[in-house]
Amino acid sequence: MVAALSCLLFSLLAAAAHASVLTLQSPRFSISSSDAAQLRAEPLSTTYKPSPALSLGPTDTLKLTFQVVDEAGKGVQPHQTFIRFFDPVTGEEGIQPVKVTSGGKAKFELNMAKPPASLPPTSEDPLRVTLYIGSFVHAPLEMDLFDLIVPASQTPPQHPDDVFFHPRPEIFHTFRSEPKVPPKFVSAVFTLFLAGPWVVLLGMWAHMGPQVPHLFSPSILPFVATLGAFEALLVWYWVELRLGQVLLYGAVLSIPTAITGKRALAAVGDWRLGKSTK
């Protein structure tokens, strides 16, 4: 298995080594102004040599023409052809495809009045322009063409939602201080104040005891117990419960309170009726 893979890899490397090489024939560039006046026109060297960068104005047009040929000088239409604009300072790049005819002839135009969206953001630094050609049956071609200086791109208009994609000022929360607990004496006084109605009720009941049924009679005691349950519910609410829970428990407790209250009133009425007939 390893031997078979080695043979296959060797075959692929050998095929790549013997693949025909593509070259450019008659590469040439020209720069014209907005009124079609030719400002500069020169042939391109197939070997990149550092030279003064080409410069384009805001309305100038760069035209690049060439023909892709094989070793025999026959025109070839590669599978992929594109130009790369690269800014070595910022690392920004843009790729622009180039259309090549079946005879290998290609033409590329860069109009600075309407620059393509693929052109990267530009500054005063020149862009490195490189040509890439790819083919399934030929060796790939990478060729540095020239350095290009174009007008600096303007700052794009700010989007209304752009501010939401940037760091916002840090939010500092100021927490409210813990509520102060009143003195124990004040709490005790108000506790006695709340318990006062029960003291008055029991005192009046003791004073009127001979005239009403006994507090612990089967008809009166359940009603008094439900009233005590309501008082306990209010204390529980003050300690732990929430308002919604108090309303729920109070609604449930009101049913037996109404029933026992009705029985207690009926017992008091019967007792008074019995006293009046004697």
Q: Strand order of the sheet with strand 80-86?
A: 54-55, 141-149, 127-134, 80-86, 93-97
Average pLDDT estimate for 39-52: 75
Instruction: Report whether pLDDT(13) > 50.
Output: no
The structural domains of the chain, ordered by start, are 19-152 (2.60.40.10), 184-277 (no CATH)
Average pLDDT estimate for 108-121: 88
pLDDT digits (tens, 9 = 90+) for 176-221: 888 787 788 888 888 788 778 778 877 776 776 555 556 567 778 8
Q: Are 208 and 200 in contact (CB under 8 A)?
A: no
- Segment holding 133, helix H or strand E: strand 127-134
- Token look-up 């102004």 returns 33
- Spatial distance between the Cα atoms of 61 and 190, rounded to a whole number of angstroms: 92
Query: What tokens does 236 get?
Result: 């529980």
Instruction: Report whether pLDDT(84) > 90.
Output: yes
Instruction: Report whether pLDDT(17) > 60.
Output: no
Question: φ, ψ for residue 90 (rounded to 5)?
Answer: -95, -15
- Beta strand 38-43 with 23-32 is antiparallel
- Token look-up 């001979």 returns 210
Q: Which is nearest to 88 in space by CA: 123, 116, 60, 58?
A: 123
Within 8 A by CB and 6+ apart from 229, the residues are 253, 257
- Spatial distance between the Cα atoms of 97 and 42, rounded to a whole number of angstroms: 23
Number of H helices, E strands in the chain: 4, 11
Q: pLDDT value at position 70? A: 87
Query: What tokens does 187 get?
Result: 């709490």
Q: Are 109 and 56 in contact (CB under 8 A)?
A: no
- Beta strand 138-139 with 127-134 is unpaired
